[in-house]
Amino acid sequence: MKRDFLTLRDLSRVELEEIFSLAQQLKADWKEGRPHPLLRGRVLAMIFEKPSLRTHVTFEVGMFQLGGHAVYLTPSDIQLGKRETVADAARNLDRWVDAIMARVYDHRTLEELARCAEVPVVNGLSDRFHPCQVLSDCFTLIERGCNLPELRIAFVGDGNNMAHSWINAAARFGFQLVVASPRGYEPDAEVVAEARKEGARVSIGHDPAEAANDADVIYTDTWTSMGQEAEAEERRRAFRDYQVNAELLRLAKPTAVVMHCLPAHRGEEITDEVIDGPQSIVFDQAENRLHVQKAILVWLVQHNLHRRAHC
């Protein structure tokens, strides 16, 4: 069976830990000057409906470091669902490339790509989930010596795609997740219910101080995501008490770290003092997007090649 990576629920904990191990090896060897051309001659199609710094650069550089090549497709190049159907685009691309990464508005676009393509599809971001980011974040915590099941992680802000992927991660890795969002901006109840069925320790509330209390990690994200610009002023008012600042950070453990998926709107969801401070690991997260995504691509492409060889 072909494997895709649209959410963290697509892979088991054992499989995700295999990706962590591979990412650790790839990162260490690259820094020692020992590259791994594990995808030599392989091609990744990168579909972008939304612009990106980290997703674009890390996937393209990652394919280069693995000996492969990435093809960047802008909205004007492909126009999914407009110039041609998503299904037809998928059926064309899978004749030419070995994997597809898509950064889209609607998560259903990814699901249709995955249904129709014979090659693995990776979620580079959708309105519902951002699994590559959260898997990289979990790797960053492990790299710092954290035991994930022992952690209390506070997510402060919008119950958005990032919150949803953190909820999925809580189900996979067993840490305690406390989400604090303004009323009306909570994570999707279905995502929460599915995670709890799998044993996730997830609490949803509205008090950022309660979430941050004794936390090992404080995580935040922008209050206004791409596509929500018309709501920006309304969101600033709704989220004004949800800023990650020095006062909130003092409620967490002295050893707590601060994380942000970037880009940051400094002075809104997070202050300069915190994001540039000694407890911030946001740029470690950004660096690890490269190595974890390389591991995801290697795992998926090699699995698919093995599957095809035995069909």
Active site residue 261: yes
Active site residue 103: yes
Active site residue 9: no
Active site residue 289: yes
Total number of residues shown for the chain: 311
Catalytic residue among 54, 103, 164, 291: 103
How would you class 149 by CB atoms within 10 Å of its CB: exposed for 0-12, middle for 13-18, buried for 19 or more?
exposed
Catalytic residue among 42, 54, 128, 130: 130
Active site residue 130: yes
Catalytic residue among 42, 216, 261, 293: 261
Q: Any residues with CB less than 8 A from the CB of 263 and at least 6 apart, and which?
A: 53, 222
Sign of CA dihedral 202, 222, 44, 293: negative
Helix residue ranges, H only, the chain: 13-31, 54-65, 75-78, 86-93, 107-116, 131-143, 161-173, 189-197, 208-212, 232-239, 246-249, 272-275, 282-309
Catalytic residue among 65, 133, 285, 293: 133
Active site residue 260: no
Catalytic residue among 98, 127, 137, 221: 221
Radius of gyration of the chain (CA): 19
Which residues have a catalytic role annotated?
103, 130, 133, 221, 261, 289
